[in-house]
A and B are shown apart, each in its own frame.
Chain A
Amino acid sequence: MFCYQCEQTYRSDHANGCATSRGVCGKDAQTADLQDLLIHELKGIACYAKRARELGSVDNTVGGFLLYGLFTTLTNVNFNAARFTALLQEAATLRERTQQRCTAAAQQQGVAVGPLAAPAHFVPASELGQLLQQAPQAAITVGLQEVGEDVVGLRALILYGLKGVAAYAHHARMLGQESDEVYAGVEATLALLAAEPTDADQLLEEALALGRLNLKVMELLDAGNTGSFGAPQPTQVRLTPVIGKAILVSGHDLADLAALLEQTAGMGINIYTHGEMLPAHSYPELHKYPHLVGNYGGAWQDQQQEFAAFPGPILMTSNCIIEPQPRYRQRIFTTGPVGWPGVRHLENHNFSPLIQAAQALPGFTTVPEQEEQITIGFGRSAVLGVADSVIEAVKAGAIRHFFLVGGCDGAAPGRNYYTDFVRQTPQDTVVLTLGCNKYRFNREPLGSIGEIPRLLDMGQCNDSYSAIKVATALAEAFECDLNELPLSLVVSWFEQKAAAVLLTLLALGIRNIRLGPSLPAFITPTVLERLTAAFGLRPITSAEADLAAALGRSAA
């Protein structure tokens, strides 16, 4: 196996990447190789789907499969090798079907299908041992000797960014939001990678194009979320449990949560959000369920302790799952793209086994005396709703600067930076946040500036879309460029969705983003130099120095 797609990848002085029998995340070599092969097959499908689309034959269920397949290979999503052998077979069938459709369309038009890249002709072996022997041709490092690590790294940037795009697009699809443009874009990106491009300039351009596609996808997801559940509103969320039976829901998929809330209505079971599901409370159509009682626990890397202590079953709807411990292995369930070998998987919103588990488990029998709450739900409509007072506050000098501190959380010790950073932001500044990185500081008493809270939780990582909308509106109000706003972005990344969002921000021309806790292993020094030259992208240093730099003064 070789994998360097996430922030916690194995790093040493001479080499980066998880390359032994087991990745840092727990993904075993077999699963990693099968994932590479799946990507290879998806590229092959995309070659035909793209060509067929050009010839006027469109089938977006193919795109749906591409999204789902890509999503399963994100960090901390699916560790079940058996799931991948099944997906490889499905992919082979779909490739054949798409090839036939493409050929038929070409014949009809009297043209040739044309030469397609190697993955279009790849046939997976039916036997596991042989299949694994095919894996090297599908590795992310293919051609390293010939093209060098910059080009391989740029291809990786595009592939990983695309995985993030696919995850968001899949969530949007689950809420009925799809678009030809997005499917065409996903197909084109995969087909591009299939051709193993070698020109670094072209690759950088394509990466930015993918960033623009991701903006479109986040817009779709936003439409899905707000269309289905209403515009997020500032909402108090209880962080302490209440007495009674309990189910914990983690991950990003609001459609799964909605279905579960409906199925458990009036049953005396309380539903808690975990991790990236926290923003659910701010959507009126989810908040209306009285049994959606609160949020439990923090970011994903603490789940082993937290899930062990949770007195009910747990549902994982997307990343981030890590190895379920024996204490809760029998009461954790996966759904959608998520999987772990030997863990029960629920499909098609059939949550009855989960509900049965909740009834059999004790739930909370004691709760802390002191109830704790936080306020969330500062999506674009809430913030833009008070845009006048925000603009007023900026003009009057009451708000000097905005910081967007957000992204993923993780276990690396260096992530304390984000807590330090937020704690040290001056009283006349406002912190916007999104993603699960917020758990590092969302209980900090930052206070408010007039009516405006100093810490505004905008939602999930995909709600970067909201942040972009707000920034754009402010720029319009101040009649300035995005980069002239008193706004600094301090981004924390962990996995591939963050890569997608980063590409979007760069594609929008946003400069001087600080990225941490460490830079992606696939971004080589040369590529970093180019990104720094073009966008001022740079790694975080220390909270003090970065704050000072952002506020335009030297560190004390």
Chain B
Amino acid sequence: MTAAVASMAAKQHEITLLTRDGQRRPILCGEEENLLAAATRQGLTLPSLCREGSCGACHARALEGEYQLGPHSTSALSAEARERGEILLCRTAPRGPLTIVVEQDLAAMEAPAPTERSAEIVALERLTDDTVRLELQLSATAEGSGIQFEPGQYVTLTLPAGGVTRAYSIANTANWEGRLEFLIRRQPNGRFAHWLASAQLGEPLQVCGPNGSFVLDEASLSPRWFVAGGTGLAPILSMLRWMGELQAPQPARLYFGVNDESQLFAMEVLRDLQLQLPQLQLEICLWRPQGEWQGFVGTPLAALERDLPEALARGEQPDLYLCGPPALVTGVEQLATSLGLAERLRSERFLPN
């Protein structure tokens, strides 16, 4: 290779990361490299899981510039999203200078990389046929016994035998005891699910995190509307509990959807939470109730289709927090976009990883 060719291959483009808090952070990235790797190399921590275009964790948007998007799953990035200039950082290589809008605050990107810790099961409770509540006790490290994270973030859990690593959102809030609580739906034929079916108290797991940018916009005074499908309740429960701890004044309502009565869980927890957070309104949505259900019948999306336009007409502009199965997330995203609320929506998808 001649020197000229080598320098061309090594050509570094100037990439400007526009952060959620409106700051600009320049990085350099070669054409052979992806943006996620380049950012990591330059000391920034951006959310990522699979690093191969299938989980959607590294989602961002290109504002201007030329780039090449490598192979990826359409559930991580739909064709429409692609059309709109949305990208997956782990699959994007620059072809010139780029401006990229990322979903993180600069400070969060400059935070230390997530750490690895060991933990053991201290509670394992069946909530419904396919939903369990898992509680872990982390072992103390040189950094102390507690666990610090922002409500809404997730960790990855690695099974004792190794090999299987899955992301799970934390359902409780940061604490000094080192306790982590999860709400997990047992995926049929799932590998983690399989292990969970016979897991015993005291069994060890490796925990890595925290990670993720599905967190509260703490500075916003707008009403907070939370939308959860199934175990998508986990990160939202963390946010609501945090609001309770802080005695946050923002109006809050939760749309929590499951298929039918038999799949309902955490109702007691939610009602206890209302004591701490009296402004919290609950809308439990059953898609196909089996008995005489007094509440809303339909998906949370249907409930939002009813309530959001009304709220907007009243001049209320809620912040939307959304977590659950991809179909729900996509549906609500489309609704929010059509109502001009795309900027106010934050979401997490429980994609296979």
Contact = CB atoms under 8 A, between A and B. Distances in A.
Interface of A: 21-22, 28, 30-31, 79, 81-82, 85-86, 127-129, 311, 323, 325-327, 329-331, 341-342, 344-345, 356-357, 359-362, 365
Contacts of A357: 146, 176
20 contacts: A30-B219, A30-B221, A81-B221, A82-B221, A82-B248, A86-B249, A311-B144, A326-B110, A326-B111, A326-B150, A330-B146, A330-B148, A330-B174, A341-B219, A342-B216, A342-B218, A356-B176, A357-B146, A357-B176, A360-B144
Interface in B142-156: 142-146, 148-150
Nearest to A359: B176
B250 interface: yes
Given A325-B111, A342-B216, A359-B176, A82 B250 contact: yes
Interface string B229-263: 00000000000000001101110000000000000
Interface string B9-32: 000000000000010000000000
B312 interface: no
A86 B218 CA distance: 16
Contacts of A342: 150, 216, 218-219, 246
Given A359-B176, A360-B144, A341 B111 contact: no
A357 B221 CA distance: 28
A360 B145 contact: yes
B interface, size bucket:
20 to 34
B142 A81 contact: no
Contact of A85 (B111, B246, B249, B315): B249
B119 to A, nearest CB: 16
Interface in B133-191: 142-146, 148-150, 174, 176-178
Contacts of B177: 360
B146 A361 contact: yes
Nearest to A131: B221
B108 A326 contact: yes
Contacts of B145: 360
A21 B22 contact: yes
Nearest to A361: B144
A30 B112 CA distance: 30
A312 B142 CA distance: 12
B327 interface: no
Contact of B144 (A21, A323, A362): A362
B139 to A, nearest CB: 13
B50 interface: no
Contacts, number: 68
Contacts of A331: 148
Contacts of A356: 176
Contacts of A359: 176
A128 B221 contact: yes
B107 interface: yes
Contacts of B142: 362, 365
A312 to B, nearest CB: 9
Contacts of A28: 219
A129 B315 contact: yes
Majority SS of interface residues in chain B? Answer: loop
Given A325-B107, A327-B111, A361-B146, A85 B221 contact: yes
Give the top 6 A-B pairs by smallest Cβ distance, nearest first: A342-B218, A360-B176, A326-B111, A341-B218, A330-B148, A361-B144
Interface string B213-224: 000101101100
Contacts of A325: 107, 110-111
Nearest to B250: A82
A359 B140 CA distance: 12
Given A331-B148, A357-B146, A326 B107 contact: yes
Contacts of A30: 219, 221
Query: Which of B22, B112, B144, B216: most chain A Cβ within 10 A?
Result: B144
Given A330-B174, A341-B218, A342-B216, A360 B146 contact: yes
A303 to B, nearest CB: 13
Contacts of B246: 342, 344-345
A326 B106 CA distance: 10
Contacts of A323: 107
Contacts of A345: 246
Interface string B104-117: 00011011100000
Nearest to B148: A330
Contacts of A311: 144
A420 to B, nearest CB: 32
Nearest to B248: A82
Contacts of B149: 330
A330 B176 CA distance: 10
A30 B222 CA distance: 12
Contacts of B144: 311, 360-362
Given A129-B315, A326-B107, A362 B249 contact: no
Contacts of B176: 356-357, 359-361
Given A330-B174, A344-B246, A361-B143, 8 more contacts: A128-B222, A326-B112, A326-B150, A330-B146, A330-B149, A342-B219, A360-B178, A361-B146
A362 B142 CA distance: 7
Contacts of A327: 111-112
A62 B149 CA distance: 40
B244 to A, nearest CB: 12
A132 B80 CA distance: 37
A323 B108 CA distance: 12
A128 B222 CA distance: 8
A86 B246 CA distance: 14
A324 to B, nearest CB: 8
A326 to B, nearest CB: 4
